[in-house]
Amino acid sequence: MARSTYYYKPRDPAKNEEAERLKRDIMMIFKKTPFYGYRKVCKALQDQGWNILPKQVWRRMKKMGLRAIYPKPNLSKPRKDHKKYPYLLKDITIDHVNQVWATDITYLRLRGGFVYLIAIIDLFSRKILSWRISNTLDNWFCIRALEEALLKYGQPEIFNSDQGSQFTSEDFIKTLEDRGIDISMDGKGRALDNIFIERFWRSLKYENIYLNDYQTVPECRAGVKRYFRFYNTQRYHQSLDYKTPDEFYYEGFSSLGKAA
């Protein structure tokens, strides 16, 4: 007889039931707040009456394959040899449409990995002009988003981005320079340079991504598309006198045309 068989002691059914209940409670907290790390999950469990330590929660979440949503590093890693462009938005007043466009890339967590999302925004109206989702950080999906925005909405006077390799690639820069668009890039350590699109990422994630828990790329793409439509055409903005970005954009565009 094997020694393990001889010394085996049956598990207490009550402990098994308690472990399953803990697992369910952790999953419920994580579904509601997927941006919580194990320490905050532990605090939420303690508030529910669990006598548990952070290390125990960490072990349980690791076993369950749960990890908090957090900013993935190096989305904006620059190329070492790229040309340096100045930051052009300091002290300027943005007072009309197509004056300044800005762009950024964020990541969206799905089951088993990430996808990356780029969006281009008109800073005056907050309107999202174009977007693309990709499962890689190649620059092609950024160029496609830029080309779509230029095709549909004309062109800006200034285009602002960070110094990520996607935005400093030769093809991306050439698309802007060929049209005579002034290129502006955020400086190192200037976290607020792209504040408007950063605020948009927060709205997107809290109002759509975290609530829907998309599992596949097609599902995520369809859900994000619905949110962009809602954001542009229905979501009121206090800073826009409670108008939607579409209303503000097209009113501003009409005024600009009349002034011209």
Domain count along the chain? 2
Tell me what pLDDT residue 190 has.
Answer: 47
Mean local confidence (pLDDT), 67-94: 69
249 in the same domain as 162: yes
Q: What angle do CA 192, 194, 179 make, to 5 degrees?
A: 145
User: Which is higher by pLDDT, 116 or 81?
Assistant: 116
**Percent with pLDDT over 90 in the chain:** 41
Tell me what pLDDT residue 259 has.
Answer: 45
pLDDT tens digits for range 94-149 = 999 999 999 999 988 887 678 899 999 999 999 999 999 998 888 899 999 999 99
User: Which is higher by pLDDT, 249 or 34?
Assistant: 249
User: Which is higher by pLDDT, 246 or 78?
Assistant: 246
249 in the same domain as 155: yes
Average pLDDT, whole number, for the chain?
83
- And the tokens for 117? 């999302």
Going by C-alpha positions, the residue among 229, 251, 225 that lies closest to residue 124 is 251
Residue 82 lies in a domain: no
Residue 246 lies in a domain: yes
User: Which is higher by pLDDT, 23 or 111?
Assistant: 23
Residue 95 lies in a domain: no
Task: Read off φ and ψ for residue 48, nearest 5 degrees.
Answer: -85, 0
- The parent domain of residue 167 ranges over 100-259
115 in the same domain as 162: yes
145 in the same domain as 237: yes
Cβ partners under 8 Å of residue 65, min gap 6: none
pLDDT tens digits for range 29-49 = 877 776 678 888 999 999 999
pLDDT tens digits for range 151-199 = 999 999 999 998 888 899 999 999 999 999 999 987 654 444 567 888 8
Task: Read off φ and ψ for residue 127, nearest 5 degrees.
Answer: -75, 135
